[in-house]
Structure 1
Amino acid sequence: MISLEKFTENDIKDLLNWLDGTDIRFLYQFGGINYKFPLDEAQIKQTMQNDKVLLFRVTNSLGRSIGHCQIIRLDLDNRTASIGRLLISDKERNKGLGSVMIKKLLSYAKQELGLQEISLKVFDFNISAIRCYERLGFIAYDKETLDIPNLNERWELILMKREL
């Protein structure tokens, strides 16, 4: 059983440790182009101050942090938001926790925030994530090309959404 808890400054160290040893590509996959490599405490604190973003730490049944996720682009007036910046610690990957995390986020978005629709963007090469989202009722509705800074590459995003 996992839980979502409000992300605090005390959780920054865990998140940065999970990203330790990763490269710029991994950061772009996790955080998009709004974060600069290497991710640091100041960037996370800046995200925490954004009133359109809700950060969560994901904990296991023992209360230990095992992941991170965010609700972004929060628009309470239109009752919409997006899911973004999902990360599960290396030790906890490939256990189906991504699906459970998304379900928890969907429940929170509906029950606590009263949202009616939630969206996300996923890189087209992240096949396992796309399949997970489809199993949870997300449908692809558009594509977007993203210029990746510092890599001189263009990555394709699939835009997905679902009603709550």
Structure 2
Amino acid sequence: MELRAFKKEDHDVLIEWIDSEKLNYQWGGPTFEFPLDSVQISKHCSQTKVFPFIFVISGKSAGYVELFRVSASHFRICRVFISDSFRGNGASKLMLHKLVELAKEKYSASLLSLAVFERNLVARNCYESLGFTVTSSESGSRSFDGEIWGLLRMEKRL
């Protein structure tokens, strides 16, 4: 089990995972247009503040996650995704635990933040189990297909 740098060779697996417009929005917010493609991924991942990772379990790609540098010691966790075949067995918690350790050890992060859609209770529960707490909520700032999706901001001090 490892969290390694996301590479161009990983684009196809991410594109395969993000297979609907709704999932694309839930995963990437307004950053990506559906269908996801290698051009969008390359453009996004080439930003100097974006650190993308692929989570590998037993040699198979199991998930994707990013760190976004907000400041020298503050990073935002973005675009968390676990593939269907690895859901329901704690893989997201393992991936995020590895990411928290990496942020602390490699990037000297002292604060991690994230945003999660209020309706995504599984993700919220996972973040809370890792010590993240809700710091604010936004309603009306995001919507999909006529539905308003409330957004929660969460933080964890390291």
TM-score by length of 1: 0.91
- The offset of 1:63, in angstroms, is 2.2
**CA RMSD after TM alignment:** 1.3
Paired with 2:142 and 2:53, the residues of 1 have a C-alpha distance of: 28
SS in 2 for 1:115: coil
- Provide the rounded CA distance (Å) in 2 between the counterparts of 1:140 and 1:6: 28
Tell me by how many angstroms 1:154 deviates.
Answer: 2.3
Partner of 2:10: 11
Could you say what secondary structure the match of 1:141 adopts?
strand
In the alignment, structure 1 segments of 5+ residues that lack a partner are none
Aligned-pair distance for 1:147?
3.0
Hey, what's the Cα distance between the residues in 2 that align with 1:70 and 1:97? 16
3-state SS of 1:137 partner: coil
- The alignment covers a number of residue pairs equal to 157
Equivalent-residue separation in structure 2 for 1:48 and 1:129 (angstroms): 23
1:33 alignment counterpart: 30
Q: What secondary structure is seen at the aligned counterpart in 2 of 1:125?
A: coil
- The answer for the alignment partner of 2:66 in structure 1 is 70
Structure 1 residue ranges, 4+ long, deviating more than 4 angstroms after superposition:
none
Kindly indicate whether residue 106 of structure 2 is the aligned counterpart of residue 109 of structure 1: no
1:33–1:148 CA contact under 8 A, matched in 2: no
Asked if the contact 1:68–1:86 (Cα under 8 Å) also holds between the matched residues in 2, the reply is yes
Alpha-carbon distance in structure 2 between the residues aligned to 1:135 and 1:144: 22
Provide the secondary structure at the position in 2 that maps to 1:87. Answer: strand
TM-score using structure 2 length = 0.94
Other-structure match for 2:119? 125
